[in-house]
Structure 1
Amino acid sequence: MVNDNLKILLAGEVKALFELKKTERLWHIPVLASLCVGIPLLVGYYFNRLDYGILACIAGLVILYMPTTTVARRMITLLACSFGFMVSFFIGVCFSFDPIISSVVLGLFTMSVHWIVNYFRMKPPGGFFFIMIASLASCMPFNLETIPIRVGLIGMGAMLACTLALLYSLFVAEKHSPKKELIVVENNNETTLFESVIVGVFIFLSLITGRLLELENPYWLPISCAAVMQGASLKHVWQRSFQRVLGTFIGLGLTWLLLLFKMTPLTICICIMVLQFIIEMLIVRHYGLAVVFITPLTLFLAEAGGAMTVDATTLISVRFLDIFLGSCIGAVAGWFLHDEQLRHKAENQIRKAKTRISRK
Structure 2
Amino acid sequence: MRWFCGSLVMVMLWCGTASAQLPPVLRDGLNVTHWFRYPVRSGPAALCCDLSAATLRSLRDAGVRFLRLPVQPVLVRAPGGVAALQEAVRRVLAAGLAVVVVPTPLGWSVSNPTGDAARLVAFWREVAPALAEFGPSRVFPEVMNEPVLTDPAAWPVMQRRVLAVIRHILPRSTVILTGADWGSIDGLLKLQPVVAARVIYSFHFYEPAVLTSLAAFDPGLDRQVLARLPFPVISVASCDAVGGDAQTAAVVRYYCASGWTAAKLATRIDAVGAWAARHHATVLVGEFGASAALNPQTRLAWLAAARRAFAVNGFGWALWGYDDPMGLAVSPMARGVTPLDPAVMRALGLR
Higher relative contact order, chain-length normalized (CA < 8 Å, sep 6+): 2
TM superposition score normalised by structure 1: 0.24
Q: Which has the larger radius of gyration?
A: 1
Q: Which has the higher strand share?
A: 2
